[in-house]
Amino acid sequence: MKKIVLASKNLDKVKEMRLALKDLPFEILSLADFAEIPDAIEDGATFEDNAIIKAKFFSEQTNLACLADDSGLEVDALGGLPGVHSARFAGYHADDNTNNQKLLDELKKIGATESKAAYRCALAFVDTDGTQILTQGKVEGKIKTVAKGNGGFGYDPYFYLDANKTMAKISPAEKNNISHRGAALREMILKLKGRFR
C-alpha cells in the first residue's frame, strides 16, 4: 500500500484530512511519525506557493509522497490579513488563543465588530517521481468579535456561516462538506483516484 505523509503536526487538521481520505488506497502518515524532521520554511507569497514548498520539502525529507495544505483566513476589513500568516499571526510560536486575540485586537483598532471574510485553502500533492497536483477551496462568511461554539480549531469560533452558526458549531463531517479544506480535498481526491486507480 502506498504511503503518503500529511505535512502537518496539527492533530485536528490531520484528523480532518484522514477522515476525508479514508476511501483511498493509502497508508496515511503525518509529521508526528517523523519527529526528527525540521520545519519547512514557508516563505511563499501565496497559499499555493507555501503548499508546494511544504509538499516538496517533506517529500524529500521522508522519501514518500506528500500532501500539504496551506490555508488561512482573509478578513476584508483588515485588507486580507492574516492571509498566509494565519497560523503565525501573533508570532511564530502562536497558538489558536493568541492568534484569535490578535485578530480581535486588530478589528478593535479599526472600530470593527464584524467583517466579510473567507477561509482559503491550497492543497499540494508531490509524489516521489516529482509529479505535482494542486487544488484550491474557499468558503465565504463573516468574522465577528463574539465567539460561538466549542468545535473546530483556529479562527472557527469567530467565523460565521450565517447569523448564528460558526465553523466551531458544526460537526467534523459537516465541516468537511462545506469548508475550504473540504472543497480542496474533494477535488484532490478525484485527481488522486484518477492517478492511482
Name the residues annotated as catalytic: 70
Q: Hey, is 10 helix, strand or coil?
A: coil
Quote the distance between the C-alpha of residue 174 and its chain's center. Answer: 16
Q: Are 17 and 181 in contact (CB under 8 A)?
A: yes
CA distances from 81 to 85, 107, 138 (A): 8, 11, 15
Cβ-based burial of 25 (10 A; exposed 0-12, middle 13-18, buried ≥19)? exposed
CB 21 within 8 A of CB 190: no
Query: Cell numbers 482559503 correspond to what residue?
Result: 120
Question: Residue 95 to residues 28, 99, 154: CA-CA distances in angstroms?
Answer: 25, 6, 8
